Amino acid sequence: MSSTPESRVKTAIPAQILPQASDGVQTDLPAVKLKATGINFFYGAFQALFDVSIEFFENRITALIGPSGCGKSTFIRNLNRINETIRGARCEGEILLDGENILGIDVTQLRRRVGMVFQRPNPFPKSIFDNVAYGVKINGLARGKRALEETVEKSLRRAALWDEVKDQLHKSAYALSGGQQQRLCIARALAVDPQVLLLDEPCSALDPIATGKIEDLLFTLKDQCTIVIVTHNMQQAGRVSDYTGFFLLGRLIEFNKTGVIFRTPAQKETEDYITGRFG
């Protein structure tokens, strides 16, 4: 799929600040995994997103930042079509996964490939084990009990939760603390081996140690998947992400390499936000 700056004249991103452009070196361009073009999103009559166009690069971490209510959650919830379940919601524009329109992909298949961790932890009222095993089971991904147990353990380890729960796998997930529940939800999403992982403020309920573990996890996951992370924590965005998009009032104001966004943002609003002058 071609993604030269010229082919994107209709997008909201000025060509001169595109990652590749500022990169200078065109040869190490990562492949585009997920590409959204001209997204307008409506909750009934209320328009929450305005002409958002962005690309997520394979095996890279993209952070989405912006003040509360600017549409970050709304945006990533379009990428796995979970917004379709909201009554009266409507999405315009085009989203391509590996060049294929996501509307043409069977929705259950799409969601298996594009995993999501929600802003608020939402474990199922089941045991810790069954929470992690859920996606594996419904997608028929593990052959036999042994394989299932291995997947569950591996996923819990990756989410930095194994050591805390290994002796109580059959306890209810509700017995866990909020931060543990969030890591459980991360483990649950990882268990189905998604190609893209959407994380909506995954660390907002976590202490610095667990946050550090999750950030380490993101680095190791990069080899296997494309990560989109919404965060309110500027330091976190700076630490973990390769690219950063700044949202404001339903628009993508600026998108670039994280270093560029944090050191030499092109837009005044971006600079104001990252230096803490508002939001």
Partner 1 sequence: MNARLLRRKVINAVMLALTGLCTAVTTSTLFVILGYLVWNGASAIDWDFFTKLPLSPGETGGGMANAIVGSFQILLLAAAVGIPVGVAAGIYLAEFNPNSVFSFLVRYTADLLNGVPSIVVGIFAWGVVVVPMKHFSALSGGLALALMLIPITVRTTEQFLKDVPVSMREGALALGASKWRAVATVVVPAARTGILTGLILGVARIAGETAPLLFTALNNQFWAKGWSAPIASLPVMIYTHAISPYEDWHRQAWAAGLVLLALVLLANIAARLILSRGANAQRS
Ligand X SMILES: Nc1ncnc2c1ncn2[C@@H]1O[C@H](COP(=O)(O)OP(=O)(O)OP(=O)(O)O)[C@@H](O)[C@H]1O
Direct distance between the N- and C-terminal alpha carbons of the chain, in angstroms, rounded to an integer: 37
Strands (E), the chain: 32-43, 46-57, 61-65, 89-97, 100-101, 114-117, 196-200, 226-230, 243-248, 251-257
| Rounded Cα gap, residues 83 and 198, in angstroms | 14
Is 48 one of the binding residues for ligand X (CB under 6 A)?
A: yes
Alpha-carbon gap, residue 145 to 224, rounded angstroms: 25
How does DSSP classify residue 94? Answer: E
The residue assigned the tokens 């190609």 is: 195
Residue 10 vs 87, nearer CB to partner 1? 87
Q: Which amino acid is at 217?
A: L
Query: Minimum CB separation from partner 1 for residue 72, in Å?
Result: 16
x/- binding map, residues 222-261, to ligand X, per CB under 6 A?
----------------------------------------
Which one of 9-17, 66-74, 156-164, 237-245 is the stretch in contact with Mg ion (CB under 5 A)? 66-74
Q: Could you tell me the smallest distance in angstroms from the CB atom of residue 173 to partner 1?
A: 11
In the complex, minimum distance from the CB of residue 246 to Mg ion, in angstroms, rounded to a whole number: 15
If one asks whether residue 116 binds partner 1 (CB under 8 A), the answer comes out as yes
72 binds ligand X (CB under 6 A): yes
> With respect to ligand X, which residue has the nearer C-beta, 68 or 108?
68
Q: Which is nearer to partner 1, 37 or 172 (CB)?
A: 172
Among residues 76 and 217, whose Cβ is nearest to partner 1? 76
- Strand bridging mode 46-57 / 61-65: unpaired
Alpha helices in 32-124 (DSSP H): 72-79, 107-113
Give the DSSP letter of residue 25: -
If binding means CB under 6 A, how many residues of this protein chain bind ligand X? 13
Q: For residue 136, which of 88, 201, 98, 188 has the smallest C-alpha distance?
A: 188
Residues 71-110 touching partner 1, rule: CB under 8 A, are: 80, 82, 85, 87, 108-109
Q: Among 21-29, 114-122, 148-156, 259-267, which window interacts with partner 1 (CB under 8 A)?
A: 114-122
